[in-house]
Amino acid sequence: MSEARRKTGRAVKMKRRHVIDLLFPIALFLVLAASSLFLVILAANVYRKSVTWEESNYMNRTCLAYVTEKIRQSDENGGIEVGTFDGLPCLILRQTFEEQSYVTYLYSYEGELCELFVREGVSMRASDGQGILEVSDFNITEQEEGIFRISCTDGNGKKSVTYAATMSKA
């Protein structure tokens, strides 16, 4: 009889299992899954904001670094001036190669920083320039002799400013 009693005891224990024994692991799994999903969504949002900020920062810094480097490359007596080209404010860089005078114009045209390199005296239009970077505004002014203030605004409206100085005087 003891064996019959054991079988009966097991049957009673099996019947005593409650619904909570099934629902608790399922609920725990759902809480962990929801927490994981929330964490992934939060991380994706942080990553998206970080990438947007980096892209904006990259565009402005690249624009300013490019123009500053062009100024340094053209740092010859009287080789750099602020003026206009095709009615647009621009930076004018003059250089001489093999006894020929050339001019590089850096200006903003239709939302891009453009560069145009031509022999001096050749008639060109702003639309002939090569687009370099997307900018909504580009401005350069000569603060003092040989010191230039360069400002650049990206498509999101973020403005950056830098100064560049020449070694030579006009």
How does pLDDT run along the chain (170 residues), one tens digit per residue?
Answer: 566 566 555 555 555 667 778 888 899 999 999 999 999 999 999 999 998 888 777 877 888 899 999 998 888 777 899 999 988 999 999 988 888 999 999 999 998 999 999 998 888 898 899 998 888 888 999 988 889 999 988 877 888 899 998 886 54
Strand partners, 149: 141, 163
Cα-based angle 121, 126, 132 (whole degrees, multiple of 5): 110
Kind of pairing between the strands at 147-153 and 100-109: unpaired
- Rounded-to-integer distance, Cα 104 and Cα 117, Å: 4
Give the three-state DSSP class for 39: helix
End-to-end CA separation in angstroms for the chain: 117
User: Half-sphere exposure of 116 toward its Cβ, with a 13 Å CA cutoff?
Assistant: 23
Q: What is the pTM assigned to this prediction?
A: 0.67
